[in-house]
């Protein structure tokens, strides 16, 4: 798997949150903002909570699938020779992140029983902070850079999803 991956965490993870919202997060972002026809499909069903986001543009494809209590997350992004695969599964709370790139820093902190995940990446004036807390199922994604702000907040047993830009 590692041999096949040349990952860009910033672009991949931020596009995870910004898919379909017409946000640019990479070189040529102005062109991406102007791009027409991004598709966003959000399907919510009880505890099973499924989220599917598909966005296509300028040879960059993003597929995000997340399902319920199993807490499976698959992110695949391809563009400009950068591939990112992040797979996280469920009760074992396993996280594999492989990233390769120029002048980019990645810090991943994982704490087992507390099930806290903190990913902080800084590069080219872009900051990404992702914090997840298990039982409350809170997800906070904050990204600031080049005048684009994104806040995604998801809370708890009610399986509510709010996307705010």
**Cα–Cα distance between 141 and 139 in angstroms, integer?**
7
**Cα–Cα distance between 103 and 32 in angstroms, integer?**
23
Give the per-residue pLDDT at 130: 34
What is the average pLDDT across 114-124?
A: 29
Strand order in the sheet with 39-43: 39-43, 50-57, 60-67, 72-79, 82-89, 94-97
Give the per-residue pLDDT at 55: 30
Strand order in the sheet with 126-133: 105-111, 116-123, 126-133, 138-145, 148-155, 160-164
**Cα–Cα distance between 60 and 81 in angstroms, integer?**
10
Query: Could you report the per-residue pLDDT of 16-70, keeping only the tens digit for each?
Result: 444 433 333 333 333 333 332 232 233 222 222 223 333 332 222 223 333 322 2
User: What 3-state class would DSSP assign to 24?
Assistant: coil
**Residue listed under structure tokens 């597929």:** 63
Give the per-residue pLDDT at 9: 37
**Residue listed under structure tokens 């070189």:** 27
Bridge partners of 102, per DSSP, are: none
**Cα–Cα distance between 72 and 93 in angstroms, integer?**
10
Give the per-residue pLDDT at 45: 29
| Domain chopping of the chain, boundaries | 2-164
């Amino acid at each position: 798997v590692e041999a096949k991956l040349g990952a860009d965490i910033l672009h991949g993870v931020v596009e995870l949150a910004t898919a379909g919202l017409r946000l640019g997060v990479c070189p040529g972002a102005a062109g991406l903002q102007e791009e027409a026809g991004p598709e966003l499909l959000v399907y919510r069903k009880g505890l099973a909570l499924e989220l599917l986001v598909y966005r296509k543009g300028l040879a960059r494809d993003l597929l995000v699938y997340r399902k319920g209590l199993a807490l499976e997350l698959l992110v695949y992004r391809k563009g400009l020779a950068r591939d990112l695969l992040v797979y996280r599964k469920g009760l074992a709370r396993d996280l594999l992140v492989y990233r390769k790139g120029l002048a980019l820093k990645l810090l991943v902190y994982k704490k087992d029983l507390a099930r806290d995940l903190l990913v902080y990446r800084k590069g080219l004036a872009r900051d990404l902070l992702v914090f997840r807390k298990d039982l409350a199922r809170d997800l906070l994604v904050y990204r600031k850079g080049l005048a684009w702000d994104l806040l995604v907040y998801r809370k708890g047993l009610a399986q509510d999803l709010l996307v705010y830009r």
